[in-house]
Structure 1
Amino acid sequence: MPHLADVEADLQSLIEAHMEAMLGVRFLASEYVIGCADGGRIDSLGLDENGAPVIVEYKRGTDAGVINQGLYYMAWLVNHKDVFRNLVRDRLGVTAASQILWSASRLICVAGDFTRYDAHAVREHRRSIDLVRYQYFGSDHFSLETVASVTGRSAQGKRERRRACGDPLLRKQGRAMVELAQAVDEVLVGLGGSVTRVQRKQYCAYQRLRNFACLIPPQQAKVVVYLKVAPAAVDLVPGFTRDVTGLGHHGTGDLEVQLRTEGDLERAQELFRLSYAAA
């Protein structure tokens, strides 16, 4: 039978110990004391796969105050960027600190459950918020389920989509590839209602709770997508799929998919779905 944590601290300790695997977030700090008039402690601070700041708040059961508490900490974060930047520099280095994606800052609320009012409330805010339900199954199994996911106005929108798929710079590299990239974008976003698009200069990430695909700006003769699919689990096809485990590239994912035609996009869709399901 599914059950909740005995105490909230057990839940927090488990997720902090496996934060990158569970949430796609690099752990920075626990019980971080904020220096302001009203004070407070942020349960967990981290940096996600795209370099966006992440605040994680935990509640053992259902608690209507978790969203407002998290938003209070988000407001502090926006007004104290230097403090967070210094924390990232100390934990992850100068390069990570110089590439923080402030426009995609996120709040992840992890709780035993949420009400329909919670799901409605996050849609009224202009922040990127994920409501995540947890459950324990016996002593050896643990699950996370996204209940609601809302993208902040800065992380996604028409402007970002144009940058990802068809701005004037990309048109110089071949209209056909731009149109193919736009088709890829539509397929990835259409995989589910919880897909968030996050734009970086070098790639466009598609995420649920974690990245499941990264679209590279179209090149002269192909469109490249990186997926969170284990290359060993698929039949690699030269010129179409490639194992890039351990190879440096923009974005995240160990399976590279190269698309040159609409037919390539059609046969890539099962790989897209596998990666989406894994995220």
Structure 2
Amino acid sequence: MVGLKLFNTAGGTVEVLPRLAEVEADVQALVEAHMETMLSIKFLASEYVIDCVDGGRIDSLGLDENGAPVIVEYKRGTDAGVINQGLYYMAWLTNHKDAFRGLVRDRLGVAAASQILWSAPRLICVAGDFTRYDVHAVREHRRSIDLVRYRYFGSDHFGLETVASVTGHSARAKRVRRRVAGASSVRHQGGAIAELVAAIDEVLVGLGDGVTRVQRKQYLAYQRLRNFACLIPPQQTKVLVYLKADPTAVDLAPGFTRDVTGLGHHGTGDLEVQLRTERDLERAQDLFRLSYAAA
């Protein structure tokens, strides 16, 4: 985004210069007010006071679309301490699950509180910029961390750019990779479908840097900052993938793509893609890229 140039072409061509917030609180208030739209995270609490010896206030607490706990920390500009501060709060969160569970129950209900994905807590740092040392540091931690750069453009536009996205190097992450690699063991799944699942996984992970997998019982999510694809456990003859691409912007093909807006289904996304063969996977790749770009 630092290199992005934005122009207003209404009544001429005028460059809209990027700027930082006047104060950190402005960024926090804007993101919290629109957290689900911007980050696909349900907002839970602001300036949450933690109960421990050293104390502290978590800028924002939320629950992402896969049910994972999320801490969001903000800085107006570049701040070398934002990652360590966030990791301190992450440690508190994982050691005080009952407090977070109670918060989710009060805000979102009993069902949401019972389905929290404790194996994949996330830290999102939103700041004016990050150094190369910040990017290197997140790769050394065993946590899921997203570094997100913000910019205001004029008075009406606000941009978020993922600078780095790292998934935790946990035993759970290794199990997810083994589960995908061993897709042939899934019940009533033939060899051809197993190979197709592995090929779909390779394509989705290969769309760009920072793609992470999040395993839930009903689906396997592929996540950038937000989910961009959800793979449903394969059926006998086909694999279903749900994408965040806008179904109204796609030429739907019966038996291949379907608008499921408002229809109940596992995973996230309103565009259903049905894959039966490697040829279907080739047809779907533009849709995969479209959804990845939207995330």
TM-score, structure 1 as length reference: 0.97
What is the aligned partner in structure 2 of residue 211 from structure 1?
Answer: 227
Q: CA deviation digits over 1:155-210, x for unaligned, max 9?
A: 86342023245346415322211110110000000000111111111111011100
**Deviation (angstroms), 1:20:** 0.8
Question: Would you say how many aligned residue pairs link Structure 1 and Structure 2?
Answer: 279
**Do the aligned partners of 1:104 and 1:155 also contact (CA within 8 Å) in 2?**
no
Describe the SS at the equivalent of 1:273. Answer: helix
- Once residues 80 and 33 of structure 1 are traced to their aligned partners in structure 2, the CA distance between those partners, rounded to angstroms, is 13
**Counterpart amino acid of 1:166?**
G
- Once residues 176 and 170 of structure 1 are traced to their aligned partners in structure 2, the CA distance between those partners, rounded to angstroms, is 12
Q: 272, 278, 294: which is aligned to 1:262?
A: 278
What is the aligned partner in structure 1 of residue 34 from structure 2?
Answer: 18
Describe the SS at the equivalent of 1:103. Answer: coil
Matched, 1:98 2:114: yes
Matched, 1:86 2:102: yes
What is the aligned partner in structure 1 of residue 14 from structure 2?
Answer: none
- Once residues 240 and 32 of structure 2 are traced to their aligned partners in structure 1, the CA distance between those partners, rounded to angstroms, is 33
- Once residues 147 and 137 of structure 1 are traced to their aligned partners in structure 2, the CA distance between those partners, rounded to angstroms, is 18
Q: CA deviation digits over 1:199-236, x for unaligned, max 9?
A: 11111101110000001111101000000011110011
Q: 2, 27, 50: which is aligned to 2:43?
A: 27
Q: CA deviation digits over 1:25-80, x for unaligned, max 9?
A: 11000000000000000000000010000000000000000000000000000000
What is the aligned partner in structure 2 of residue 278 from structure 1?
Answer: 294
Structure 2's unaligned 5+ residue stretches are 1-16
- Once residues 134 and 288 of structure 2 are traced to their aligned partners in structure 1, the CA distance between those partners, rounded to angstroms, is 30
**Deviation (angstroms), 1:24:** 1.1
- Once residues 54 and 165 of structure 1 are traced to their aligned partners in structure 2, the CA distance between those partners, rounded to angstroms, is 28
What is the aligned partner in structure 1 of residue 10 from structure 2?
Answer: none
**Do the aligned partners of 1:164 and 1:217 also contact (CA within 8 Å) in 2?**
no
Q: CA deviation digits over 1:92-113, x for unaligned, max 9?
A: 1111111111111000000000
**Do the aligned partners of 1:208 and 1:276 also contact (CA within 8 Å) in 2?**
yes
- Once residues 155 and 147 of structure 1 are traced to their aligned partners in structure 2, the CA distance between those partners, rounded to angstroms, is 25
What is the aligned partner in structure 1 of residue 246 from structure 2?
Answer: 230
**Do the aligned partners of 1:104 and 1:154 also contact (CA within 8 Å) in 2?**
no
Structure 1's 76 and 11: CA in aligned 2 closer, same or farther, altered over 3 A?
same
What is the aligned partner in structure 2 of residue 197 from structure 1?
Answer: 213
What is the aligned partner in structure 1 of residue 89 from structure 2?
Answer: 73
- Once residues 155 and 31 of structure 1 are traced to their aligned partners in structure 2, the CA distance between those partners, rounded to angstroms, is 32
**Do the aligned partners of 1:189 and 1:195 also contact (CA within 8 Å) in 2?**
yes
- Once residues 277 and 155 of structure 1 are traced to their aligned partners in structure 2, the CA distance between those partners, rounded to angstroms, is 29
Describe the SS at the equivalent of 1:104. Answer: coil
Structure 1's 47 and 29: CA in aligned 2 closer, same or farther, altered over 3 A?
same
Describe the SS at the equivalent of 1:72. Answer: helix
Structure 1's 275 and 107: CA in aligned 2 closer, same or farther, altered over 3 A?
same
What aligned pairs does 1:137-156 form with structure 2 within 5 A after superposition? 137-154=153-170
Describe the SS at the equivalent of 2:119. Answer: helix
Matched, 1:181 2:193: no
What is the aligned partner in structure 2 of residue 120 from structure 1?
Answer: 136
Max Rg structure:
2
Q: CA RMSD in A?
A: 1.2
- Once residues 200 and 171 of structure 2 are traced to their aligned partners in structure 1, the CA distance between those partners, rounded to angstroms, is 19
- Once residues 203 and 60 of structure 2 are traced to their aligned partners in structure 1, the CA distance between those partners, rounded to angstroms, is 33
State the percentage of identical aligned residues: 83
**Do the aligned partners of 1:228 and 1:254 also contact (CA within 8 Å) in 2?**
yes
Structure 1's unaligned 5+ residue stretches are none
